[in-house]
Amino acid sequence: MTATSGDTPLPSLADAPWLGRHATQAVLSAIESGGYAARVVGGAVRNELIGAPVKDIDVATTAEPREVMRLVEHAGLKAVPTGIEHGTVTVITDHTPLEVTTLRRDIETFGRHARVTFTTDWVEDARRRDFTINAFYCDRTGAVHDPLGGYPDLLARVVRFIGDPHDRIREDYLRILRFFRFTAEYARGAPDAAGLEASVELAAGLSGLSAERIRAEMLRLLAAPRAVDVVDVMEGAGLASRVLGIAETGTLRRLTAIEAALAREPDALLRLAALAAARPGRTLELREKLRLSSAEYERLARMALPDKAFDPEAPEREAKAFIYRHGSETFRDGMLLAWTNSSAPTDDARWRERLSLPERWTAPALPVRGADVMEAGLAAGPAVGRVMRTFEDWWIAEDFPTEHLRLAYALSRFVKANRD
Ligand code: ATP
Ligand code: MG
């Protein structure tokens, strides 16, 4: 029998590679061997149904967490009680972690601190999820279950709240950001009107969210194909600047156009820098607002720092010096942001040419070591480091010469100057 969603037949996912994988089958059969039902849920099923790439696999089951632990361990799999009071057990098979969560019903919801009870009712579990496109389940054989009839929305690419958007947002204000994030990732056309209206009306609730939760959704949103259009709509009601402090949607639009002209993949942090006006003095604030990691913060701070190398009219050796000192990635970041903030066309040949310098040129290694300095006549000590640094500055300014005699002559000059 073919399953349907209303009148629309649901395809079978029997051929989905992640379903056939040993790790998935082992977990589903281990739980089913105890007489329970277990199904893959959420993003994996949704994405497979529209042919989008599938990242992680989540499983929903009628078995309670301790039963899940017992059954999977009995089947020889490793189980970790990662969130047992919320119903989640992580099972590790073939080095792949897979989250197994018991079907739940919300009793009370305060953002992430929802009080839940377990249930064996798939419809109840589906109702506490956020959007109709996020409530599909798929069993071990590939049969898709759609208890709330979300499949037509998925086919029409509509991101619609399950139930009343106002109620659902009041339960968890993060759903405002998730609404825009999933719209940017999956929707066609304008955001769903009811969802948009409720999001705008309840926007004040965003202030109570933790930086970590905001961060996760905002970075996903920014990396999405339709980010710029969705952020425009958000900022039409002041929502993006409410979250980020500043939101320059025109700058994001320009960066997106440059990325498109270069056929570059979207980069969330770069887009954040453009949108949120990452400039010296602003980056610390962004770090706080989104609890950025040190690496992310450093990347953002670095790209926001103006540099004379980020100019296609500057001599090429300025760009090479920058690449030598800070690396190709940092160079690309800075160039893209400077291009975005310039008035040059988004398909400007000079910017494009300069930006591609790291593809044509690799920074050489410094051709002198401490031992060479001592061989040139300097005793071990702090002066060796000083000579090395002077030599390096000279070598970079001279555009990385390689002739042995020239290098030896320069070195002996610096050694002499340091001895006198
Ligand atoms: P992807 O991981 O590809 O971004 P996903 O749909 O798996 O998409 P997750 O954030 O991993 O998204 O959440 C998994 C599922 O849990 C969702 O599909 C949704 O059903 C449910 N869910 C997650 N967060 C919420 C929330 N804040 N409110 C209601 N349901 C949620
Ligand atoms: Mg997921």
Higher-confidence residue: 115 or 50? 50
- From 54, 110, 134, mutation site for ligand 1 pocket: most ligand atoms within 8 A of C-beta: 134
DSSP 8-state secondary structure symbol assigned to residue 399: T
State the pairing for strand pair 78-83/8-9. unpaired
Centre of ligand 2 to C-alpha 150, Å, is 17
The region of weakest confidence among 214-223, 239-248, 279-288, 391-400 is 279-288
pLDDT tens track for 324-372: 999 999 999 999 999 999 999 999 999 999 999 999 999 999 999 989 9
What confidence category does residue 111 fall into, taking pLDDT thresholds of 50, 70 and 90? low
Distance CA 330, CA 336 (A): 10
Ligand 1 binding pocket includes 130 (Cβ within 6 Å): yes
| CA torsion through residues 410, 412, 414, 416, sign | negative
Centre of ligand 1 to C-alpha 195, Å, is 17
Ligand 1 binding pocket includes 87 (Cβ within 6 Å): no
Phi, psi (deg, nearest 5) at residue 191: -60, 150
Q: Are 159 and 195 in contact, with CB atoms under 8 Å apart?
A: yes
Distance CA 11, CA 13 (A): 6
Ligand 1 binding pocket includes 150 (Cβ within 6 Å): no
Residue-averaged pLDDT of the chain: 94
Residue of the nearest CA to atom 15 in ligand 1? 42
- From 57, 100, 101, 130, mutation site for ligand 1 pocket: most ligand atoms within 8 A of C-beta: 130
Ligand 1 binding pocket includes 311 (Cβ within 6 Å): no
Of all atoms in ligand 1, which is nearest to the CA of residue 172? 27
Q: Give the list of residues 6+ apart from residue 229 with CB closer than 8 angstroms, or none.
A: 184
Residues, Cβ < 5 Å to ion ligand 2: 43
Residue of the nearest CA to atom 3 in ligand 1? 43
Centre of ligand 2 to C-alpha 57, Å, is 7
pLDDT tens track for 176-215: 999 999 999 999 989 999 999 999 999 999 999 999 999 9
pLDDT for 357 equals 98
Mean pLDDT, residues 313-322: 96
Centre of ligand 1 to C-alpha 248, Å, is 28
What confidence category does residue 1 fall into, taking pLDDT thresholds of 50, 70 and 90? very low
pLDDT tens track for 29-50: 999 999 999 999 999 999 999 9
pLDDT tens track for 219-253: 999 999 999 999 999 999 999 999 999 999 999 99
DSSP 8-state secondary structure symbol assigned to residue 205: G
Ligand 1 binding pocket includes 134 (Cβ within 6 Å): yes
3-class SS at 209?
Answer: coil
Ligand 1 binding pocket includes 217 (Cβ within 6 Å): no
Question: pTM for the complete prediction?
Answer: 0.91
Mean pLDDT, residues 168-178: 97
Give the residues across from 97 on adjacent strands: 92
Centre of ligand 2 to C-alpha 55, Å, is 7
Q: Which long-range contacts (CB under 8 A, 24 or more apart) does 304-308 make?
A: 304/273, 304/278, 304/279, 304/280, 304/337, 305/280, 305/334, 306/338, 307/334
Residue of the nearest CA to atom 6 in ligand 1? 43
Structure-token match 């947002």, residue found: 169
Higher-confidence residue: 221 or 281? 221
Distance CA 275, CA 258 (A): 14
- Tokens coding 348: 């400007």
Q: Are 170 and 205 in contact, with CB atoms under 8 Å apart?
A: yes
Distance CA 3, CA 102 (A): 23
Distance CA 273, CA 247 (A): 10
> Within 10 Å of residue 279's Cβ, how many Cβ atoms?
15
pLDDT for 79 equals 95
Of all atoms in ligand 1, which is nearest to the CA of residue 185? 4
Centre of ligand 1 to C-alpha 345, Å, is 39
Nearest to 74 by CA among 110, 102, 106, 32: 32
What confidence category does residue 116 fall into, taking pLDDT thresholds of 50, 70 and 90? confident
Q: Which ligand is nearest to the CA of 171?
A: 1
Nearest to 130 by CA among 74, 67, 46, 61: 46
Distance CA 174, CA 343 (A): 36
Amino acid identity for residue 286 in this structure: L
Ligand 1 binding pocket includes 43 (Cβ within 6 Å): yes
pLDDT for 380 equals 86
